[in-house]
């Protein structure tokens, strides 16, 4: 007959023949951490948001373009492009853009014309902040 150990939420976890119940609970905790009140580890730091993040993101993108161009001039163009794409992916994880035109388009397409106008106006500072490094 199968044996089980009881989990904190009242569920049951199978106990193999000769297995210590504490080992079974440890294995269950690895498989079902939320049942034991263990929070999953975050995959990394949260992306930065706000106007300063828009400026930083734009500056980082501008520097990345320059590095990719110099790498293409002084070495293998394919390798430079691949490294530039990798740097761009890392930057996308580090910053959440404030300028999100898709939100405006979605509101406009759903017939919320005033909502779309309000969304566009609210995103103007982020759009300008994103342009500052290029203008400078």
Whether residue 42 has pLDDT greater than 80: no
> Containing H/E element for 117?
helix 113-135
Task: Report how far residue 69's alpha carbon sits from residue 115's, in angstroms, rounded to the nearest whole number.
Answer: 41
Q: Name the percent of the chain lying above pLDDT 70.
A: 96
Q: Of 133, 134, 101, nearest to 119 (Cα)?
A: 101
Mean pLDDT of the chain: 89
Residue appearing with tokens 């263990």: 38
Of the pLDDT bands very low, low, confident and very high (cuts 50, 70, 90), residue 41 is: low
Question: The whole model's pTM is what?
Answer: 0.59
Residue-range domain boundaries for the chain: 3-36, 51-135
Helix (H, G, I), strand (E, B) or coil at 5: strand
Helix (H, G, I), strand (E, B) or coil at 3: strand
Q: Of 122, 133, 132, 65, nearest to 99 (Cα)?
A: 122
Positive or negative CA dihedral for 84, 90, 94, 95? positive
Task: Report how far residue 94's alpha carbon sits from residue 61's, in angstroms, rounded to the nearest whole number.
Answer: 12
């Amino acid at each position: 007959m199968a044996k089980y150990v009881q989990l904190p939420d009242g569920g049951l976890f199978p106990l193999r023949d000769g297995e210590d119940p504490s080992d079974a609970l440890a294995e269950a905790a690895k498989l079902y951490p939320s049942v034991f009140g263990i929070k999953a580890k975050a995959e990394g730091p949260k992306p930065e948001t706000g106007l300063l993040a828009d400026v930083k993101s734009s500056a980082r993108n501008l520097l990345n373009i320059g590095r990719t161009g110099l790498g293409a001039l002084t070495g293998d163009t394919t390798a430079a492009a691949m490294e530039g794409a990798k740097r761009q992916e890392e930057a996308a994880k580090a910053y959440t853009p404030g300028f999100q035109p898709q939100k405006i388009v979605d509101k406009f397409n759903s017939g919320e014309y005033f909502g779309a106008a309000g969304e566009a106006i609210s995103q103007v500072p982020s759009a300008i902040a994103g342009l500052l490094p290029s203008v400078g």
